[in-house]
Each structure stands twice: as structure tokens, then as C-alpha cells.
Amino acid sequence: MPFLELTVPCTLTQQPRYERALDSVGALSVTLTDAHADEPDEQAIFEPGVGETPLWGEMRLTALFDGDTAGALLLLALGAADEGLDWSRVEMREVADEDWERAWLDQFQPMQFGARTFIVPWNHELPEAAQRDDAAVIRLDPGLAFGSGTHPTTALCLAWLDGLAAQGDLQDQTVLDFGCGSGILALAALKLGAAQAVGVDNDPQALIATHDNAQRNGLDTRMSVHLPQDEPVRQYPVVVANILASALDALADLLASRVAPGGRIALSGILHGQEGELLQRYAAWFDDLTATRQDDWMRIDGRRR
């Protein structure tokens, strides 16, 4: 069955009222996008901090309704729901129904990182290269994945872990994945030879996703997940934090304190151009700091002094 899609422009201050009105007349979903997303200086929002909901100053609200909804009657209902809003700029169109999950799964292909790390969706057979005895294979369901390896920041961290394993620096170690999301980095570390992994994230949904992925990969007995306030305070020989540059700056003292002397750290979620200040910031604790680029993203890694 097709859907009726309604799109309306609004400002940050108007957004809650528009969303309430759309919900009140039966919107199946409401999504927000930057009104200037096609412009060169548009501001990307990747992940809010704890308790924050950052939005654009000007945005577009897109709502879906049942396909048999009458557009003219819907506009009348919206006008009655909030007479103070401007509904004259509403755009409507019919959109086809699709098996969105299947469409996404079909686009998600096995990926290799480094010499022997593979991310393979559950609906795919193992590629030949991943059938080697020493292959580290993580099976992932991308239905609700907070990290699937497709983003350069995740790819940079996976390649770093693969390199650590090749050097023997991961074997039988305990790894902290700070900002674990789907748990993909912690799970890769375990498959590459780490003994235990600890995942920390401020989003309870991320902890659920990490636990589920660990269970489906047979790694749940070696993986624990925690909200930041519940994280066990200790030092780790290996720490990876794939979050955002602003968070890496704000959490520098905490992250440095989690790395054991001589331990290794990888920091990602850094846009090219942001690495300079972070290199200076982390030089207070770490030697051999190196910045590695993939596309527009950077990874910083080093060794705890």
C-alpha cells in the first residue's frame, strides 16, 4: 500500500508545534532534515551529547500518512490542530510502499578490513577469503545497526584493531570500546584474539544492540556493556573511542585515565581539519601519536606514556 508523504518547512522554535500537530492528526512517522542540506556549508548532526537534542535553525519536517488519507481533509485537520502555524507551504506526494529492510539488506555486502577482519551480514554466505582458519568474522544484522563498518570512522578503527592483532598486541587483552554503538569494534577485537571487551555508551538502545550482536556472534560471555555512570573504573591495555571530536576533547582526561601505561588508544569520529587540536590535547599523555585519513575522516592513535 502506498503512503501519503507531507513535507513542510519550519524553524527550530516552530518544530515542536508542527510535530505535535502532525502527530495529533495521525502521522505514522515524522522525520527532520536540514533545510539547507544541499548547500556547501550545511551542518551535519551525527550524534547528540547526553541530554542534548541539537537541531538545525531551519529544517523540513516530513510525515507519512496512510495512502488513503485525503490530502485536502488532512490540511483542514492540521489547520484546526494549530491555527497559528503556516500550512500553506505544505508539499504532498504519494510514495510507494517497499520492503525497506530487504532493500537495505540487499545493499549491505561483506567487507574486509586489514588482513583478516570481515564484517558479513547474516543474509550473505561467507566470501571465500573469510573462510580461512585465521579469519576474524563478525556477523551483523544491519536492521538496527549503530555501526556496520560502512562509515570511514568505523573502517579506520577496524583496520587499526586488525593491525594490532597482526603485531600480537591484542592477544588475550581486555579492550574498552567507549561509545560502542553496535559493539562492532569490541566484537572485532574479541574475534581478533582479545580475551574480554567492555562496551560503554550513553544510549540504552546501543547497549541492547551491542548485547544482541555479541550474543548472535557467540561472544556474550566475554562482553559486558554499561552506561557511562555504571562503567567499571579501571585501566585497559587497549582503548578505542569512535565518537566525535568535541566529545574526544571533553573526555580527554577520562579516556587517558582508562589507558594503562604502555597501552594503546585509537580515537576516531574526527573530521579532517579537527585533528590538530586533538593531537596537541592527547600529547600530554601519549607518545607516537599518528593521524590517519580516510575520505574526510581521521583516526588518531598512540601509546600511553
Tell me: the pLDDT tens digits for 196-219? 999 999 988 889 889 999 999 999
C-alpha to C-alpha distance for 190 and 194, rounded to whole angstroms: 4
- Please indicate, yes or no, whether residues 175 and 92 belong to a single structural domain of this protein: no
Q: Which strands make up the sheet holding 29-34, listed edge to edge?
A: 29-34, 58-66, 3-11, 91-95
Is 254 in a helix, a strand, or coil? helix
- Please indicate, yes or no, whether residues 92 and 122 belong to a single structural domain of this protein: no
Residue 121 lies in a domain: yes
Stretch 170-182: mean pLDDT, rounded?
Answer: 95
- pLDDT tens for 103-145 read 555 666 788 999 999 998 887 889 999 999 999 999 986 544 4
**Model pTM greater than 0.85?**
no
Residue 102 lies in a domain: no
- Please indicate, yes or no, whether residues 212 and 274 belong to a single structural domain of this protein: yes
Residue 90 lies in a domain: yes
Query: Exposed, middle or buried, 153 (CB in 10 Å: 0-12/13-18/19+)?
Result: buried
Annotated binding site: 154, 179, 201, 242
Where a domain ends, among 97, 129, 155? Answer: 97
Where a domain ends, among 71, 97, 123? Answer: 97
Where a domain ends, among 73, 97, 121? Answer: 97
**Percent residues over pLDDT 70 in the chain:** 87
CATH number at residue 133: 3.40.50.150
Range of the domain at 38: 3-97
Is 57 in a helix, a strand, or coil? coil
- Please indicate, yes or no, whether residues 59 and 79 belong to a single structural domain of this protein: yes
Residue 69 lies in a domain: yes
pLDDT at residue 286 above 60? yes
- Please indicate, yes or no, whether residues 260 and 121 belong to a single structural domain of this protein: yes
Annotated binding site for S-adenosyl-L-methionine: 154, 179, 201, 242
